[in-house]
Amino acid sequence: MSRMQRRDFLKLAGCSALGAVLFPRPGQSADPAPSASEKKRPNILFLAIDDLRDWVGYLGNKQVKTPNLDRLATRGVYFTRSFCASPCCNPSRTALLTGLRPGSSGVYSNGHDWRQIVPEGTVTLPLHFKNNGYHVVGAGKIFHGGLLRLSDWDGYLTGKGLGDEEDPVEKGRGKDKTKDGWDGVGGLRWGPLDCADKDLADYQSVSYILKKLGEPQGKPFFFACGLHKPHMPWSVPKKYYALYPLDQIEMPKVLETDLDDVPRAGVAMAKPDGDHAAILKSGRWKEAVQAYLATISFCDAMIGRLIDGFDQCPNKDNTLICLWSDHGWHLGEKQHWRKFALWEEATRAPYMWIVPGVTKPGGVCHRTVDYMHIYPTLCDFAGLPVPKHVEGESIRKLLENPAAPWDKPAITTWQFNNHAVRTERWHYIRYADGTEELYDHGRDPLEWTNLAQKPECASVKADLAQWVPKDNKPTPAGGGKTREQRDRKAKKRAEKPS
Ligand SMILES: [Ca+2]
């Protein structure tokens, strides 16, 4: 950047304090090569989406309408084989944000309070950036609901429904079906709402981050915006439902006998007698698919607002964007609904990076990555040391050149000692009881035929099994409940007349 460009940038930024970061102070060396501490560090816009599976236009889904995610994806590098560390909100986010895989932290489910469980000295991603001179601000769902630690942040948009509460009060989220405008089958909740976008919490999270982006910055910033949708309830303004007329919904391709070659441990995860049986009985499968699609498009509209606002932000040219969804979602494939399983639908999720000066527009990476690489990659770009406890490694080379060699599989863990290993061709699953599944994505992208028992696949399996995490902490005591949940339960019990 020339001196003139720097001056223009500062003027645009409306920020004299930033000069302290960019330029030597009087008395400091006039050497044009800045020292490490003076180097301009990139700002970070960290975007988390909840429960968005691979149903986005840019990954090839033909019916979903995601024009904003699609246009953002063209600006940098998007991944076609990106996988969560765990197919469940809390363990996925805890792994990504602490740098510890579920087996290393012992955080396996939504009830496990990471704040009580992770080893002492574990520094979260936001805290690490806060400790190293970044202005760290968040909104919405970054950590799983109720498990936010405010002291890790310089600022956070708090309040009911805005990321720090498990049960937000917003339209369509309440507990009363008639009054709160939702419908559904069993625990699957949805319904078109007669309200505006701004009545939903995600809208407020985006507005808050946009406001922050417009403010003068004295430090490099780390702004995190976590969108709740398309997490259930799939209750969004009715205009999003209107995008998907019921008679035009394309249903997921499902093989009725798909579970026949899945071991018992996998069938137990699928729970075919649960949500799927209820959906079949109700005859409302298509409506559920429509509702999920509508909610994705609402999420996409929020991403659109964010991009449009970001493009007006004075720091845009020195701000990298990292966008991820915490895991995928089943809509009846393998007679399974929701996440909570190790198959492709539950583990694959949208993931992209736009890094000024590093990624080139139109980059597509087909390498297998999981989210353990996010923490060290952000440290890499910010010039920060990577804390010792952080697993994973920087994917800078894939962002510079999406075709660069990469020999790491993506690894996903669900509950104690059940793991999936995904390479560009193979998907290997090993359950805690030792039973296995193996799918050849070269021939079977829908994972219908389990090859694990084929003698000719023994060596492939052995290669993949080497990647299965070996040291896995036991499930924490306490019935899988957070401390607050346990306290509440104990209080209730004490109040009960004997
Ligand atoms: Ca099958």
Ligand 1 centroid vs 272 CA: distance in angstroms? 13
The matching CATH number, chosen from 3.50.30.30, 3.40.50.150, 3.40.720.10, 3.30.420.40, for 42-400 is 3.40.720.10
Separation of CA 261 and ligand 1 centre (Å): 5
**Structural contact between residues 227 and 299, judged by C-beta atoms closer than 8 angstroms:** yes
CA nearest to 289, candidates 247, 258, 238, 326 = 247
pLDDT-flagged residues of the chain (< 50): 1-38, 161, 163-169, 479, 497-498
Show the tokens assigned to 157.
Answer: 């948009």
CA separation for the pair 299, 231 (Å, rounded): 10
CB 376 within 8 A of CB 392: yes
Name the phi and psi angles at 187, rounded to 5: -85, -5
**Residues 342-396: tens digit of each pLDDT:** 999 999 999 999 999 999 999 999 999 999 999 999 999 999 999 999 999 999 9
Using omega within 30 degrees of 0 as the cis cutoff, is the peptide bond preceding 233 cis?
yes
Burial environment of residue 73 by CB neighbours within 10 A (0 to 12, 13 to 18, 19 or more): buried
Active site residues: 89, 144
Integer Cα distance of 178 and 182 in angstroms: 7
Integer angstrom CA distances of residue 2 from 7, 32, 366, 384, 472: 9, 11, 36, 25, 52
* β-sheet bridge partners, residue 140: 226
Going from the Cα of 39 to the center of ligand 1, the distance in angstroms, rounded, reads 54
**What's the CA-to-centroid distance between 130 and ligand 1, angstroms?**
47
Segment 156-214, tens digit of pLDDT:
997 654 544 433 445 555 566 666 667 889 889 999 988 889 888 899 999 999 999 99
Supply the pLDDT for residue 17: 32
Centroid of ligand 1 to alpha carbon of 498 (angstroms): 51
Q: How many A from CA of 121 to the centre of ligand 1?
A: 43
How many A from CA of 249 to the centre of ligand 1? 25
pTM check: above 0.85:
yes
Give the CA-trace dihedral at 349, 354, 355, 359, to 10 degrees: 90
Q: Using CA atoms, how far apart are residues 125 and 224, in angstroms rounded to an integer?
A: 11
The Cα–Cα gap between 407 and 467 comes to 11
- In one letter, which amino acid is 307? I
What distance in angstroms lies between residue 470's CA and the mean position of ligand 1's atoms?
27
Q: Residue 463 and residue 309: Cα distance in Å, rounded?
A: 47
Distance 424 CA to ligand 1 centre (A): 20
Measure 413 CA to ligand 1 centroid, in angstroms.
20
Q: How far apart are CA 148 and CA 384, in angstroms?
A: 23
Name the 3-class secondary structure at 459.
Answer: helix
Cα of 486 vs its chain's centroid, Å: 27
Taken in order 456, 335, 474, 164, the sign of the CA dihedral is positive
Question: Integer distance in angstroms from the first to the last C-alpha of the chain?
Answer: 75
> What distance in angstroms lies between residue 60's CA and the mean position of ligand 1's atoms?
23
Whole-number Å distance, alpha carbon 3 to ligand 1 midpoint, is 62
